[in-house]
Amino acid sequence: MATTFDSSSINNNCNLSNNTIGKLPEESSVLVVGAGGIGCELLKSLALCRFRSIGVIDLDTIEVSNLNRQFLFRREHVGQPKATVACDSIRRLCPSIHIEPFHGDVITDSRFDVSFYKQYDLVINALDNVQARQHVNRMCLLCSRPLIDSGSTGYNGQATLIFKGRTQCYDCIEKPKQQRTYAVCTIRNTPSQPIHCIVWAKFLYNQLFGDNEDPNNEDVTPDADDPENVNNEQDNPINGHHRVSTRDWIHSEMEKFDPKRIFNKLFFDDINYLTTMKNLWEKRRQPIPIEYEKACQIKEYHQNGQGDHGQSTMPKLNDQRIQTISDYVQMFIDSVNELKQRSDKQRQIASTSKEPSFLVWDKNDDADLRFVTASANLRAYIFGINLTSKFDVKSMAGNIIPAVATTNAIVAGITVLQARKVLSILPRLSTDHTLTSIKHLTNVFVSTDRKTGGIIQSIPLEEPNSSCIQCSDLEQPVRVRINMSLFTLYSLYERLIRKHLKMNKPDVIIADGSGRILISADDDDEDEQMMLKTLDQFKLINGTILLCEEEYDDETNEALLQHMKIKLMLEHTDTITDKDEYIIVDDQVIGEIKQIKQSLKRKLSDHDDDDDDDDDDHIQHLDDYQNEVNIVKRTKRLSTTPNEHNTNINTGPIHTSFVMLVDDEVPVHTNGHHEGTSKDDFIINTKKHKQNNDDNFVSNDSNSCVILDDDDKTNSKPVTNTEQNANVADDDCYCVDIADS
Ligand SMILES: Nc1ncnc2c1ncn2[C@@H]1O[C@H](COP(=O)(O)OP(=O)(O)OP(=O)(O)O)[C@@H](O)[C@H]1O
Ligand SMILES: [Zn+2]
């Protein structure tokens, strides 16, 4: 790494096409997200292939376990940010490069907003988790930046291309569940494999130290509703054994928090209760409860003293060895004590900061891992299941598939070739909105499955999935800037969605592929407590997209005006300190409205010029017009300047305008400066209305304008920003408030 490499020597090999129109690597800038296994290989290859402007994001610091394959790091770097060290190493390899590190979480760090992404021509993912990949995918769709998603699992890998609206995006195909799920009854009542005990131990961790409000925080207490337990009377004390929910029990125990009592509750009382559910044990080995004092005496590796199950006599690291039950008892007590201290400290920190008040299990944290190893093995012993070494628990609990350095290197190489191909077509992308300019590109997979072809396989790009929530509806989301740790669900729904965006009562769905409903329109009993929670308490993060969708109300017909779908993109910023404040970022939306205006103008003037009174033409025109109205309706979501909800932002006077559609005609309104004006006046500056309020029909409210039925001026109605839906009949006109541009 100390030597400097002259990359020009390999440039010819990297010249993928004779296409001189394309952008050259040295002229382009690339954002690499993730500086781990693939990331290190990728940065090296990009630098050697003459990429000269690179941004690198990574949230992590270097660990000893990274050093075997993440070769930009050395032992002396352990503990330092990956992004910074990776960039330093690349600079040593290639001094002329401009490479900038960003140590932060790509999802939650508010530095990585739309303008950040727009600095780059191309984005490359070298990440290891779905959530971060989905986030970058969304940002690239929003910013119209091509994305290459690289990844590897063991011997398999991929470098797939994502072009907004032209190829499938990362979310077009539902991802297989990352983690295998196990039946709750198996975990709580009848484990039969080490993994069942490990999953149980992770649930237990969450119950003792984790987020109690997390819906995934499963109860670890015996499940009296087990379908196999049908003939038993449920939840009755049997032979004096009560079933006590661990969650409730631990709360009542918080003061004393004695690890020995916890031990006895989990491994003696609960197991005793389980043994009373007789049906479960008709065809299974019944678990044997153990008390703390007795467990301390057990020097066996296994219930039947079978020792180190089938493991070879190869020398092993300590963590790879299975220990005795008494060792695991000690490990349990020590780790519970350590984690209790840490959790108390965390609660204290949370009381004066925005930090969470709970612990989050981390496979790389030694106390976390010891707790799960000890708890899982004690439970395994009770159920007669083989024990598992700490080393194996880490890989099973962390859902780890071993990384293969060679796969990472191959994937990184392919990714750089993909990047060069993308650059070669970049200038044409903005003018060609079909698949033509990218039809020679492919997704590339590395696979050991020889039946499907060679190790490296090229698969044609596929068109977007029309029902993909992220990319099918190319309408841009409305970007809302808020402070997630202050802004409440109430403010989101009542102030922003209902009052400002004027939706009636929409469902609000989290568009992360889970389909989780944040607020249901059907839910009449809104839980007040829930509405007062801040958005971060619902685990909404920077970049979350919410789909607000309103259905027709057939009975009242009201919904005709309100039938809308709006996507909101939440952007977190610490700079907002008012809990109710939000800023709608509008540059793209204003552009969109201008386009609609242009297109309406064209249509209406075509119609005027058309002397032929052909009925079919007329119908066609009305259809077109209706489409436009629908577009406008759907686009009813604008306003960036301060409004009644954020007047505390001192950004000057309110300039609010309306886009108006009156029947099939151009809107007419009567105050002096606009009267008789042409079709151009779809956008009416209401500030001017106020300045000229010598007119009968003009409201004194600077946020209002007057609209008329085209042919009957007596129908004139003043319309204000906030009342427009109520006052304007559906067949009269339709208003869209937009910021004065
Ligand atoms: N949300 C995120 N923001 C920024 N970087 C991320 C985010 N999520 C993951 N990463 C980074 O992506 C990289 C993925 O690399 P890799 O798959 O080699 O994982 P690793 O954490 O380095 O290795 P291991 O998991 O085996 O310890 C990591 O360096 C990780 O820090
Ligand atoms: Zn998609």
Query: For 342-363, what is each residue's pLDDT tens digit?
Result: 998 998 898 888 788 899 999 8
CA distance 568 to 584: 10
Q: Which pLDDT belongs to residue 228? A: 67
pLDDT of residue 222: 86
Q: Are residue 557 and residue 533 in the same domain, yes or no?
A: yes
Residue to substitute in 127, 149, 401 for testing ligand 1 pocket (most ligand atoms within 8 angstroms of CB) = 127
CATH number at residue 220: 1.10.10.520
Least confident of 4-8, 332-336, 523-527: 4-8
Segment 36-42 shows an average pLDDT of 97
- pLDDT given for residue 313 in this prediction: 56
Numbered residues of the known binding site for ATP: 34-39, 58, 66-69, 82, 128-133
Measured on CA atoms in the order 422, 427, 430, 432, is the torsion positive or negative?
negative
pLDDT at 543: 82
Predicted local distance difference test score (pLDDT) of residue 385:
94
User: Mapping DSSP to helix (H, G, I), strand (E, B) and coil, where does residue 221 land?
Assistant: coil
- 299 and 270 in a common domain: yes
Shared-domain flag, residues 141 and 263: no
Residues 88, 102, single domain; the answer is yes
The amino acid sitting at 502 is K
Please indicate, yes or no, whether residues 506 and 517 belong to a single structural domain of this protein. yes
Residue 549 sits in a domain whose CATH number is 3.10.290.20
Cα separation, 235 vs 605, whole angstroms: 76
Residue 364, domain member (yes or no): yes
730 found inside a domain: yes
**Residue at 3 is within a domain:** no
| pLDDT of 331 | 96
Q: 410-429 pLDDT, tens per residue? A: 999 999 999 999 999 888 77
In this prediction, residue 382 carries a pLDDT of 95
Q: Is 51 in the same domain as 155? A: yes
**CA-closest residue to ligand 1 atom 11:** 34
Domain of 93, CATH number, reads 3.40.50.720
* Beta-bridge partner residues of 739: 656
Name the closest ligand to CA 468. Answer: 2
Among the three residues 397, 416, 443, which one is the final residue of a domain in this structure? 397
pLDDT for position 679: 31
Distance 147 CA to ligand 2 centre (A): 13
Residue 475 CA to ligand 2 centre (angstroms): 13
**560 and 643 inside one domain:** no
> Per-residue pLDDT tens for 223-257?
776 666 655 554 455 545 566 777 777 777 666 77
pLDDT exceeds cutoff 60 at 646: no
Q: Give distance in angstroms: CA of 82 to centre of ligand 1.
A: 9
Q: Does residue 476 register a pLDDT over 80? A: no
Nearest C-alpha to atom 28 of ligand 1 is from which residue?
Answer: 36
Q: Phi first, then psi: give them for residue 685, nearest 5 degrees.
A: -85, 110
Instruction: Kindly list the distances between the CA atom of residue 8 and the CA atoms of 100, 420, 534, in Å, as whole numbers in the listed order.
Output: 22, 15, 53
Model confidence at 690, pLDDT cuts 50, 70, 90, reads: very low
CA distances 395 to 193, 392, 399, 547, 616, Å, are 15, 5, 6, 37, 69
Shared domain for 214 and 70, answered yes or no, is no
Of the chain, the percentage scoring pLDDT greater than 70 comes to 65
Nearest-CA residue for atom 15 of ligand 1: 36
Q: What is the whole-number distance in angstroms between the Cα of residue 56 and the centre of ligand 1? A: 12
In the structure, ligand 2 is a single-atom ion and the residues with CB under 5 Å from it are 169, 171-172, 468, 470-471
271 located within any domain? yes
Ligand whose nearest atom lies closest to the CA of 465: 2
Report whether pLDDT(373) > 70. Answer: yes
Q: Which atom of ligand 1 is found nearest the CA of 63?
A: 27
Residue recorded with tokens 């007119």: 695
Domain boundary among 349, 372, 397: 397
Residue ranges of the binding site: 34-39, 58, 66-69, 82, 128-133, 169, 172, 468, 471
Q: Between residues 85 and 549, which one has the greater pLDDT?
A: 85
Instruction: Judge contact between 124 and 33, C-beta under 8 A.
Output: yes
Please say which residue of 373, 397, 421 terminates a domain.
Answer: 397
On whether both 339 and 425 belong to a single domain, the answer is no
Whether 627 is covered by a domain: the verdict is yes
Q: What is the ipTM of this complex?
A: 0.98
Q: Which domain does 239 fall in, by range? A: 184-397
- Is 703 inside any structural domain? yes
Alpha-carbon gap, residue 710 to 702, rounded angstroms: 23
Question: Pocket of ligand 1, candidates 87, 112, 116, 128: which has the most ligand atoms within 8 Å of its Cβ, to mutate?
Answer: 128
Task: Find out whether 70 and 47 touch, Cβ atoms under 8 Å.
Answer: no
- Integer Cα distance of 711 and 732 in angstroms: 11
Binding site membership for Zn(2+): which residues? 169, 172, 468, 471
Distance 101 CA to ligand 1 centre (A): 15
Rounded to the nearest 10°, the torsion over CA 63, 66, 68, 71 is -100
Q: What's the mean pLDDT when you consider all of the chain?
A: 73
Ligand nearest to the CA of 405: 1
439 and 547 assigned to the same domain:
no
Of the given ranges (214-218, 372-376, 586-590, 643-647), which has the lowest mean pLDDT? Answer: 643-647
Three-state secondary-structure class, residue 431: coil
> Which atom belonging to ligand 1 lies closest to the Cα atom of 105?
3
731 touches 557 (CB < 8 A): no
pLDDT tens across 174-217, in order?
A: 776 555 667 778 889 999 999 999 999 999 998 889 887 776 67
Identify the burial level of 673 via C-beta atoms within 10 angstroms of its C-beta, where 0-12 means exposed, 13-18 middle and 19 or more buried: middle
Shortest-distance ligand to the CA of residue 513: 2
Instruction: Clarify whether residues 203 and 341 are in a common domain.
Output: yes
Q: Give the ligand whose atoms come closest to the C-alpha of residue 545.
A: 2
Q: Kindly state whether residue 470 falls inside one of the protein's structural domains.
A: no
Give the per-residue pLDDT at 622: 38
Q: Which residue has the higher pLDDT, 183 or 456?
A: 456
Q: Whose CA is nearest to atom 16 of ligand 1?
A: 36
> Which of 156-170, 275-289, 498-512 is predicted with the least confidence, judged by mean pLDDT?
498-512
Write out the catalytic residue numbers.
185
Residue at 21 is within a domain:
yes
Residue 706 confidence (pLDDT): 36
Q: Is the pLDDT of residue 327 over 90?
A: yes
Task: Please report which helix (H) or strand (E) contains residue 445, including its range.
Answer: strand 442-446
Residue closest via CA to ligand 1's atom 22 equals 36
User: For 492, which DSSP code?
Assistant: I
Residue nearest to atom 17 of ligand 1 (CA): 128
β-sheet with 545-549: strand ranges across: 517-519, 507-510, 545-549, 565-572, 478-482, 583-585
436 C-alpha to center of ligand 2: Å? 19
Please choose from 32, 38, 59 the residue to mutate so as to test ligand 1's pocket, defined by most ligand atoms within 8 A of CB.
Answer: 59
Give pLDDT, residue 314.
58
Number of structural domains the chain divides into: 4
Give the residue, out of 32, 60, 72, 139, with the most ligand 1 atoms within 8 A of its beta carbon, to mutate for a pocket test.
60
Instruction: Give ligand 1 pocket residues (Cβ under 6 A).
Output: 34-37, 39, 57-60, 65-66, 82, 105-107, 127-129, 132, 403
Q: What is the pLDDT of residue 237?
A: 52
What pLDDT is attached to residue 19?
Answer: 45
Mean pLDDT of 514-518: 78
Asked if the model's pLDDT at residue 675 lies above 80, the reply is no
Instruction: Say whether both 236 and 307 belong to one domain.
Output: yes
Per-residue pLDDT, averaged over 51-62, amounts to 97
- Give the pLDDT of residue 657: 30
Mean pLDDT of 281-305: 82
Question: Using H for helix, E for strand and C for coil, what is the string for 36-69?
Answer: CHHHHHHHHHHHHCCCCEEEEEECCECCHHHCCC
Q: Which position has the higher pLDDT, 711 or 291?
A: 291
Q: Please compute the mean of the pLDDT values over residues 169-174 and round it to a whole number.
A: 88
Range ranked top by mean pLDDT from 64-73, 237-246, 621-630:
64-73
Cα of 341 vs centre of ligand 2, distance in Å, is: 45
Best-predicted range by mean pLDDT (63-72, 97-106, 600-609): 97-106
- What is the distance in A from the centroid of ligand 1 to the CA of 61? 9
Are the C-beta atoms of 705 and 482 separated by less than 8 Å?
no
Looking at residue 318, what is its pLDDT?
Answer: 78
Q: Tell me what pLDDT residue 399 has.
A: 72
Of all protein residues, the one whose alpha carbon is nearest to atom 5 of ligand 1 is 58
Residue nearest to atom 19 of ligand 1 (CA): 36
Res. 692 pLDDT band, cuts 50 70 90? very low
> 640 near 583, Cβ under 8 Å?
yes
User: What pLDDT is stored for residue 177 in this prediction?
Assistant: 58
